[in-house]
Amino acid sequence: GHAERDADARLEETAGLALAIGLNVVERHVFRVRAPKPATLIGSGQVEQLAAMARMEDADLVVFDASLSPVQQRNLETALGTKVIDRTGLILEIFGERAATAEGRLQVELAHLDYQAGRLVRSWTHLERQRGGFGFLGGPGETQIEADRRLIRDRMARLRKELDQVSRTRGLHRDRRQRAPWPVIALVGYTNAGKSTLFNRLTGADVMAENLLFATLDPTLRQISLPGIDKAILSDTVGFVSDLPTQLVAAFKATLEEVVSADLLLHVRDIAHPDTEAQRSDVETVLADIGVAATTPRFEAWNKLDLLDPDAREAMMALAARRDDVVTLSALSGEGVADLVDQVATQLTAAHRRYTL
Ligand code: GDP
């Protein structure tokens, strides 16, 4: 049914996130949880089933696409004999890896500390309850938790001050970036839309040597050439995720900072996804939020054309044909990619004559 398809799409997205940080995903499974268990979230039979799977696959890590309390996380680690992280933990890992700017790194660290602080509070509340009620004060645990919290609070205050400073100098950097000799094309879109597949297709293995310089500076930047444009920089970004935990929003936006100064945005969309329209407006909202000018040229790559049935495919292609900022394609099969390259080059030269002079 519909719910099942949503669960599968969501699982696919999470697997995509895990792959993005180099994890090898050996097994995916949807557990239906009618009544979440305080100790382990999933039921005891499900824990056993999961433990058997983990043993069979010799897994080192189990990712829960849910929010786990610290107690649940600890109990699950014991029961499964693996490390366990939840959705927020996974997303923080990715942001940490992808934050390219000083501001991005500070925002991610701030989000990490915020996450930790929240978990200290929650585990303390839980302990209190276990001891039979509130009003139990002065136990050995309390001073430790208070001390931990103070450390985290101090560190967060220092980070906020640093962030202030960094954002004050940011304007300066942007001006410098705008004078870069090559146009910058930023890929944006939801996780799983096909950004990496398209990125790899557009850059290709043959330009690897030339890209060594960029690879050492930033693995998400690649040099490409387009018709009439000798050199352009293609910049990959961290993907959007559905149901982003609210405490991660600022960190997420910070990882997109490079997008603000891009010359052209290439928005990769999975048009076969049931939520493709909602995803499109999420992306547009965030772009406006982080200060991308409405005048920045953008292009939509309607990807995964190959997954549509013939009627839907026909309809999409007819829609796209009426717009000069949309190309339908399959990054997987390569269909439409040449067309995309041509159109992006046309847009870019129209918007930035100076690159062709
Ligand atoms: P990213 O998270 O946006 O970088 O997405 P990926 O490039 O990693 O792609 C996510 C999944 O979609 C992968 O399993 C890809 O093989 C698949 N994919 C990407 N493009 C296409 C496409 O055009 N057609 C189909 N059928 N699958 C695609």
Give the β-pairing of 229-235 and 221-226.
antiparallel
Alpha helices for the chain (secondary structure H): 2-20, 44-57, 70-80, 87-98, 102-130, 140-178, 195-203, 208-217, 249-255, 257-260, 276-289, 310-321, 337-351
- Tell me how far the alpha carbon of residue 16 lies from the centroid of ligand 1, in angstroms: 9
Rounded mean pLDDT of 259-288? 93
Q: Residue 131, CB half-sphere, CA atoms under 13 Å: how many? A: 15
What's the chain's average pLDDT?
82
Rounded mean pLDDT of 207-218? 48
- Report the pLDDT value the prediction gives residue 12, as an integer from 0 to 100: 84
Query: What is the per-residue pLDDT across 63-93, written as a single tens digit (0 to 9) for each?
Result: 999 988 888 888 999 999 999 999 888 988 8
More reliable by pLDDT, 151 or 215: 151
- Tell me how far the alpha carbon of residue 301 lies from the centroid of ligand 1, in angstroms: 13
Q: Rounded to whole angstroms, how far apart are CA atoms 63 and 85? A: 5
Query: What is the per-residue pLDDT across 246-269, written as a single tens digit (0 to 9) for each?
Result: 878 888 888 887 788 889 999 999
Q: Which of 11, 91, 197, 340 to mutate to test ligand 1, by most ligand atoms within 8 A of the CB atom?
A: 197
Query: What is the per-residue pLDDT across 184-196, written as a single tens digit (0 to 9) for each?
Result: 899 999 988 998 8
* 192: alpha, beta or left? (left if phi > 0; alpha if psi -120 to 50): left
- Report the pLDDT value the prediction gives residue 124, as an integer from 0 to 100: 47
pLDDT > 70? residue 349 = yes
Percent of the chain with pLDDT over 70: 81
- Report the pLDDT value the prediction gives residue 187, as an integer from 0 to 100: 92
Is 25's C-beta closer than 6 angstroms to any atom of ligand 1?
A: no
- Report the pLDDT value the prediction gives residue 202, as an integer from 0 to 100: 87
Task: Find the length of the chain.
Answer: 357
Pick from 237, 192, 162: nearest CA to 17: 192
Rounded mean pLDDT of 118-144? 51
Residue 170: pLDDT band by 50, 70, 90 thresholds? low
Rounded mean pLDDT of 178-188? 78
- Tell me how far the alpha carbon of residue 335 lies from the centroid of ligand 1, in angstroms: 14
Triad 152, 68, 160: Cα angle to 5°? 25
| Segment (H or E) for 296 | none
Is 211's C-beta closer than 6 angstroms to any atom of ligand 1?
A: no
- Report the pLDDT value the prediction gives residue 129, as an integer from 0 to 100: 46
- Tell me how far the alpha carbon of residue 193 lies from the centroid of ligand 1, in angstroms: 6
The SS3 assignment for 167 reads: helix
| Contact between residue 124 and residue 145 where contact means Cβ atoms under 8 Å apart | yes
Is 98's C-beta closer than 6 angstroms to any atom of ligand 1?
A: no
User: What tokens appear for 28 in the block?
Assistant: 């995916």
- Tell me how far the alpha carbon of residue 306 lies from the centroid of ligand 1, in angstroms: 11
Q: Rounded to whole angstroms, how far apart are CA atoms 17 and 84? A: 15
Is 94's C-beta closer than 6 angstroms to any atom of ligand 1?
A: no
User: Which atom of ligand 1 is the closest one to the Cα of 17?
Assistant: 2
- Report the pLDDT value the prediction gives residue 44, as an integer from 0 to 100: 95
pLDDT > 80? residue 114 = yes
Q: Rounded to whole angstroms, how far apart are CA atoms 108 and 95? A: 6
More reliable by pLDDT, 79 or 294: 79
Q: Rounded to whole angstroms, how far apart are CA atoms 189 and 284? A: 10
User: What tokens appear for 36 in the block?
Assistant: 């979440």
- Tell me how far the alpha carbon of residue 308 lies from the centroid of ligand 1, in angstroms: 14
- Report the pLDDT value the prediction gives residue 92, as an integer from 0 to 100: 87
User: Which atom of ligand 1 is the closest one to the Cα of 190?
Assistant: 3
pLDDT > 70? residue 207 = no
Rounded mean pLDDT of 108-123? 75
Q: Rounded to whole angstroms, how far apart are CA atoms 139 and 162? A: 36
Which residue puts its alpha carbon closest to atom 9 of ligand 1? 194
Contacts of 183 (CB under 8 A, 6+ apart): 229, 232, 233, 263, 264, 348, 352, 355
Lowest mean pLDDT among 83-97, 134-148, 159-173, 222-236: 134-148
pLDDT > 70? residue 155 = yes
Query: What is the per-residue pLDDT across 5-42, written as a single tens digit (0 to 9) for each?
Result: 677 888 888 888 888 778 899 999 999 998 999 999 99
Rounded mean pLDDT of 265-281? 94
Residue 143: pLDDT band by 50, 70, 90 thresholds? low
Lowest mean pLDDT among 31-40, 155-164, 254-263, 331-340: 254-263
pLDDT > 60? residue 214 = no
User: What tokens appear for 61 in the block?
Assistant: 């890590």
Pick from 285, 280, 357, 291: nearest CA to 325: 280
Q: Rounded to whole angstroms, how far apart are CA atoms 312 and 297? A: 27
- Tell me how far the alpha carbon of residue 316 lies from the centroid of ligand 1, in angstroms: 18
Q: Rounded to an integer, what is the distance from CA 309 to the centroid of its chain?
A: 29
- Tell me how far the alpha carbon of residue 304 lies from the centroid of ligand 1, in angstroms: 7
| Contact between residue 36 and residue 28 where contact means Cβ atoms under 8 Å apart | no
Is 279's C-beta closer than 6 angstroms to any atom of ligand 1?
A: no
Q: Rounded to whole angstroms, how far apart are CA atoms 59 and 103? A: 35
Is 237's C-beta closer than 6 angstroms to any atom of ligand 1?
A: no
Q: Rounded to whole angstroms, how far apart are CA atoms 135 and 100? A: 46
Q: Identify the residue whose tokens are 């939801």.
A: 190
- Tell me how far the alpha carbon of residue 248 lies from the centroid of ligand 1, in angstroms: 25
Is 9's C-beta closer than 6 angstroms to any atom of ligand 1?
A: no
More reliable by pLDDT, 345 or 121: 345
How far, CA to CA in Å, does 121 sit from each of 88, 141, 151? 17, 12, 14
- Tell me how far the alpha carbon of residue 91 lies from the centroid of ligand 1, in angstroms: 19
Q: Rounded to whole angstroms, how far apart are CA atoms 162 and 11? A: 37
- Report the pLDDT value the prediction gives residue 141, as an integer from 0 to 100: 55
Is 226's C-beta closer than 6 angstroms to any atom of ligand 1?
A: no
Rounded mean pLDDT of 88-105? 81
Is 304's C-beta closer than 6 angstroms to any atom of ligand 1?
A: yes
Interface confidence: ipTM more than 0.90: yes
91 residue type, one letter:
I
Q: Evaluate if pTM is beyond 0.80.
A: no
User: Which atom of ligand 1 is the closest one to the Cα of 331?
Assistant: 23
Residue 240: beta bridge partners? 190
